[in-house]
Structure 1
Amino acid sequence: MARSLALALTAAASLTLAAVTAPLAAADPGPGRAQGDRARTYAATARYQVHANAVADGYKPDQYCVVDKAGGPGALGYPHFNHKYDNSLDPAKPAALFYEDDGRGGKRLVGVQWLVYDRDQKLTTDDDRPTMFGTAFKGPKPGNFPGQPVHYALHLWLWKKNPDGLFETFNRAVTCLPGTTRPKPSL
């Protein structure tokens, strides 16, 4: 009951924020637009606080929790990709959702990501770098798995504060439980 009430309040707050900032966003291509777009993202992803809703809407869960391969602090959590939203620049349609273990056997939504393919597929050029929320995407980056194209990515830590910044790739406040990360390939 308390969880249902909390989710309903989160959704209501997100929708109210979206309604209040939408006129400002439409009139102002600057900071007001970024706030309005973030409010749209909150409103669109609030329903994914319930993990089953994300899966039902086509977000495919990865079985492994993702940490920084370079050994930096923090993690992404468990990525859930919906590849029909690859190349989306719509604040309401992120290509990925990130979850962490909630300590009760479930998953808690912590962040989202947009992924846009690099037009020329060259890591040495960036004349097609997209922006959202007044922030440039990171990249171009090589694919993270076989078959993934060279791409740009933008992470947004909406649902869990990232001490290093709202748009940083990894979040040091997100941790992966022991035994939940992808095993290293044997040599």
Structure 2
Amino acid sequence: MSLRSRTAGAVLALAVPFALAAVPADAAPVPEADPFVWTDLTPTYTATADYQYEPFAVTDGYRPIGRCAQGTGTGEGGAGYHYVNPAHVGSLDPAEPAGLLYETDSNGGRALVGVEWIVRADNAAGAPTLFGQSFQGPANLDGVGSVYTLHAWIWKDNPSGLFAPWNPTVTCP
């Protein structure tokens, strides 16, 4: 068993129970609080666990695009640095998000905070859905064009919701 496999297994074993425990028992029911969503996201955790070490993401075809994305509204927060794997653009497979979202960590490196599915908006079908959530957009993504996107903040809690487009706890330097 490789170090990457053991790391992914350990991260998944710790991340999923933590994520389930992060929803207060008395919280109002919202779609992203559905525990089955976390089960559906298990392949995403497994597939992206290694990318907490940013060089593994680059080795596997993810490339940084644009600058750190910051919301324009008060309190919106940010989406961080986008890394996109062109081979996954258009995928609705939970294990193949096209984008990874990073923020600057306390050591000046990159910390994985979320993932993103990206689908080109040049089709007539409109915004797709995944995990019972409609994609946001269309919007222009640097280097990709007009797209629909769905964020999942699986590596950092988002007070705005698991699938919110912006995370108020993510800031750009």
Q: Measure how far apart 1:129 and its partner are.
A: 2.5
1:170 aligns with 2:169: no
In the superposition, the TM-score normalised over structure 2's length comes to 0.76
- Which of 149, 152, 156 is residue 156 of structure 1 equivalent to? 152
Counterpart secondary structure, 1:80: strand
Counterpart secondary structure, 1:62: strand
Q: Equivalent residue for 1:134?
A: 132
Counterpart secondary structure, 1:76: strand
Counterpart secondary structure, 1:165: coil
What runs of 5+ residues in structure 2 fail to find an aligned partner?
18-33
- Report the residue type matching 1:142 in the other structure: A
What runs of 5+ residues in structure 1 fail to find an aligned partner?
17-30, 121-126, 178-187
Q: Measure how far apart 1:60 and its partner are.
A: 0.4
Structure 1 runs (4+) greater than 2 angstroms displaced: 4-9, 11-16, 31-37, 69-73, 144-147
CA-to-aligned-CA distance 1:77-115 (integer Å, 9 cap, x gap): 111011111110000111110111111121110011001
1:109 aligns with 2:112: yes
Q: How does 1:38-49 map to 2 (within 5 A)?
A: 38-49=41-52
Moved more, 152-161 or 66-75: 66-75
User: What is the root-mean-square deviation in Å for CA atoms of aligned residues?
Assistant: 2.9
- Which of 62, 67, 77 is residue 74 of structure 1 equivalent to? 77
Q: Measure how far apart 1:64 and its partner are.
A: 2.3
Q: Which has the larger radius of gyration?
A: 1
How many residues of Structure 1 are paired with residues of Structure 2 in the alignment? 153
Identity of aligned residues (%): 40
- Report the residue type matching 2:82 in the other structure: P
Alpha-carbon distance change, 129 to 160 in structure 1, aligned in 2, over 3 angstroms: same
Distance 2:163 2:120 in 1: 19
Q: Measure how far apart 1:167 and its partner are.
A: 0.6
In the superposition, the TM-score normalised over structure 1's length comes to 0.71
Q: Measure how far apart 1:45 and its partner are.
A: 0.6
Query: Retained in 1: the 8 A contact 2:71–2:77?
Result: yes
Q: Measure how far apart 1:144 and its partner are.
A: 3.1
Distance 1:70 1:145 in 2: 20
